[in-house]
Amino acid sequence: MATANAGPRLDRLPVSAFHRRVFTLVAMGMFFDGFDIYVAGTVLGTTLKSGFSTMGQNAAFVSMTFVGMMLGSFFTGFLGDRFGRRFTYQANLALFGLASLAAAFAPNMTVLIGLRFLMGVGLGAENVVGYSTLTEFAPAATRGRWLGFLAVVVVTGLPVAVLTSTVMIPAFGWRSMFVLGGIGALVVWYARKALPESPRWLESVGRNADAEALLATIEASVPGPLAPIVVSAPPPSRALSTLFTPPLASRMVLGCIALIVINTLIYGFITWLPSFFVKQGLSIATSFNFTLIMSLGAPVGSAIGALTADHWGRKPTLIGASAVAIVFGAIYPFVTDPVLLPLVGIALTMPIYVLVALLFGVYIPELFPTEVRLRASGICNTFGRGATIVTPFLVVRLFTEYGVVGVLTLMIGLLFVLILAVAALGIEPRRRSLEDLGSGAVEGAAVPAIVR
């Protein structure tokens, strides 16, 4: 049987119904991942107001989410590279869905925090395997756009969660939000049985016959004649230890720094907005309204990231968005006008979610070869989630002593670190094949031969 050549064969395919089906199935699960992450902000504002929880318990709830996500990210990387993408994304979605349903019946905050840990394991796993799976199917020329729009779907969970909360929580209580998330996840789990395994992964573990059969099926589903296959030299074998030697070591450092920064921005500021507003004297209704308006910047920012990733490139977009976020982050704490506050909030939220789209969805999965992609992404996510375990407690301390100014000062400092890291350590993956990136080849190197 012919060698699979999975990467070149997938990269030459025109966008078709197959790509849209894969995107839809991955995106459905990722949406509920995003929905549940952002549900925390609205639920915690309500539990705090009703006396079901305290600020300290809310911090523990968020922190245990990160502990779970950290462990989920780490073990998913090893499971996904060992047993495949398909097995892993089904297992994590089932865990998350069942734990979410159980959370709806939690008798007290202690039990809810424990269930949130289990949900966090599923959430951390989904984030790693979802983006990496789509990375391995998307054509190189439009990979940034596909992955960016997957991030748009994920962050749409923010305004949907806030909007749904404004309707569901007053009528049915905060528990209803966990019911919605759990049922949705289990429905998607059933639908995603139709999602195929990654041919790139099959080939990387020596299952060439399986990869060849799957590729033949995919190619047969694409209308019209196909372009010739452009094959590069086979990439070197990648053991886990190669992540800590050049050229991958610097990418690991960058990935860890980037995910520490973006996780802290999301979970140290965005998800705390309802609690901030409540503590500043606003009613639950007003808090939700302000948060909803600001949350509209999330899908808009992610869409900007998706549309610019293949046009401007990853590095310029990351650096530019960080700079814009620094400017509006410096302005935001000093705005008191009730009309200007949510508008400046949108202007701050948008560049943050440009970074979310590029870092979670596009850039990090591209940095590593197929053989170690999930493990590398999982380790980077582990550092990102692990560092933010302490973030809720730090945020409570900063907010108590310095107000929003203290919280935003931390965020601005981290954005400066991200700019320096991307400028010094980053590579530019725009329109380059995953095999080219994984080999460590210099951009602009000789074009490989066309073999058929």
Position of tokens 């569901």? Answer: 168
Q: What is the pLDDT of residue 118?
A: 95
Q: How many CB atoms lie within 10 A of CB 41?
A: 26
Q: What is the pLDDT of residue 231?
A: 66
Task: Tell me the pLDDT tens digit for each residue of 277-291.
Answer: 766 665 555 666 677
Alpha helices by DSSP H, 271-372: 273-279, 284-295, 297-309, 314-331, 340-356, 364-366
Q: What is the pLDDT of residue 121?
A: 92
- Quote the pTM value: 0.81
Check if the beta carbon of residue 50 is closer than 8 Å to that of residue 280.
Answer: no
Q: What is the pLDDT of residue 275?
A: 67
**Nearest 5°: phi and psi at 109?**
-70, -30
45 lies in a domain?
yes
Question: If we measure between CA atoms, which residue out of 122, 103, 273, 121 comes closest to residue 174?
Answer: 103
Q: What is the pLDDT of residue 232?
A: 59
Q: What is the pLDDT of residue 141?
A: 84
**Whether residue 235 has a cis bond before it, omega within 30° of 0:** no
Give 198's contacts (C-beta < 8 A, 6+ positions apart). Answer: 84, 85, 86, 133, 136, 137, 370
44 lies in a domain?
yes
Number of domains in the chain: 1
449 lies in a domain?
no
220 lies in a domain?
no
Q: What is the pLDDT of residue 449?
A: 43
Check if the beta carbon of residue 270 is closer than 8 Å to that of residue 157.
Answer: no
265 lies in a domain?
yes
Residues of the chain with pLDDT under 50: 1, 442, 444-452
* Structural domain containing residue 97: 18-196+241-439
202 lies in a domain?
no
Cα three-residue angle 218-224-226, rounded to 5 degrees: 65
List beta partners, residue 450.
Answer: 230
36 lies in a domain?
yes
Return the CATH number at 396.
Answer: 1.20.1250.20
292 lies in a domain?
yes
Q: What is the pLDDT of residue 50?
A: 86
